[in-house]
Amino acid sequence: MNSNLSRRNLPRERAVLVGLDLARASSQDQPRTYTASESLDELRELAATSGAEVVHSAIQHLHAPNAATLIGAGKVEELALLREAEEIDVFLFDVDLSPTQQRNLERRLGAKVIDRTQLILDIFASRAQTREGKLQVELAQLDYLLPRLAGHGVEMSRLGGGIGTRGPGETQLETDRRKIARRMRKLEADLESVRRGRGVQRAKRASVPLATAALVGYTNAGKSTLFNTLTQAGVLADSRLFATLDPTVRALTLPSRRKVLLSDTVGFIRNLPVSLVKAFRATLEEAAGAGILVHVVDASSEHAAAHVTHVNEVLKEIDAGDIPQVLVLNKSDLLPDGGKSMERRFAAEPGIEFCLSVSALAGTGLAELLAQLDRMLPYDPLRRVHFHFPHDAAQQVNTVHVAAQVLRREYTQDGCDIEAVAPASVIRLLAPYLTGESAEIRPPVERSPAQ
């Protein structure tokens, strides 16, 4: 049965959010980008995305975390009483718990205890649609669960649904370490095959050299909405976190009439689990192999600057930190000045080649974005050419339709004559079929709507 369908038939779990505010962290020289309360607000969004009903939240103020339970004994007792009074199903912690801490808390609270990493993994499990996505999520979940097997005893035999049980499922938890390790090796081999397959696809795309751009950004920044607006791809655009998990690649026509490939990638988040970054490396390589990154930011968020920092940290992890970036301040229609002050603020940031404000929903600023991509992506001179293809050159005819602008097509007894405006790289690839070409065609001069 589809896990998403069965999930909707389950009652919503009643959850309590638990945050940790360390006085030691507050006294550091560099200020934190998030307060404990603001971080808990993001956890609330994650909980809602996972289908939980948040009924209460609590923040523990400590000088140092408790080695056994993370939080103090008094707070544990307070939460245990709250569980009995409010019939709480799950406690969601805004930090990563050690296996010992998680087991101790479950015993003392008498309910499920889920940390931030497991919650994110659970959301990814509900979002994965393709075989590749499911493999990546399962590998990340098993990597997380493996050190937590010891000591659970009879608890591992429990059956159930809800947060933390999607993906590999409870039967995986009942297996021993050796079987899980064997499964992980199999998943890693399958994902390596996926990486090789993606490499072959990229090589095929490179044989018809098209410039590539990738959308990256913090989750819920509006990447998929922008992607749909630019390419009419029709991918899922949802206000929930991680609405898009599996990558999508579509052709995009720039003002110069040349075509480039644009990919939509999974959204990043603060403290993205290392296991997820590792498992999704095959997917994230779409961004690492791009000629330019379109870094989409939710300009209406008060944490926009922190989001940019977190995304850049992940880009460095996947060896994409040196790729030129266009910083797109999305949802700028929600700002009083249309995002102009934020443009000036970010324009001076290192690594940002260009910064502009847009609204993917309203469609404003997109013409300027396309023009800037046209200027920044490697230029492939256009020429007006004539090709003649024999009947057995159907693949080459398709190449012309994919990578050039066909002006005229005529079928004859011995093949197909095509007149097109094509990039020089495509002309070189199809040189054996070339029957004539004209001088280079310059991109049209950009004009403002007022001209």
209-376, what's its fold?
Rossmann fold (3.40.50)
Per-residue pLDDT at 323: 87
Per-residue pLDDT at 446: 42
Query: Cα 136–142–144 angle (5° rounding)?
Result: 105
- 132 token code pair: 């590749």
Which among 186, 99, 178 is positioned nearest to 138, based on CA atoms?
186
3-157, what's its fold?
Rossmann fold (3.40.50)
Per-residue pLDDT at 176: 64
Per-residue pLDDT at 6: 44
For the chain, the structural domain boundaries read 3-157, 209-376, 382-441
pTM score of the predicted model = 0.70
Domains 3-157 and 209-376 agree in fold: yes
Per-residue pLDDT at 172: 45
Per-residue pLDDT at 444: 47
Residue-by-residue pLDDT tens, the chain, 451 positions: 344 444 455 678 999 999 999 865 544 444 456 788 888 988 998 898 888 999 999 999 998 899 999 999 999 999 999 999 999 999 999 999 998 999 999 999 999 999 998 898 888 888 777 777 788 888 888 888 877 765 444 344 444 456 665 555 544 445 567 788 888 899 888 888 877 776 666 656 555 556 789 999 888 888 888 998 998 866 555 545 555 556 678 888 888 877 888 888 777 887 776 766 766 665 676 677 788 999 999 999 888 888 998 888 888 887 888 888 999 999 999 988 888 888 888 877 777 888 999 999 888 999 999 999 988 887 677 788 999 999 999 888 988 888 788 999 999 999 999 999 888 778 877 888 998 876 666 554 443 333 3
Per-residue pLDDT at 12: 84
Q: Are 68 and 107 in contact (CB under 8 A)?
A: no
Q: What is the largest CA-CA distance in the chain?
A: 88
Locus of tokens 């289908």? 51
Per-residue pLDDT at 232: 81
- 184 token code pair: 């992980």
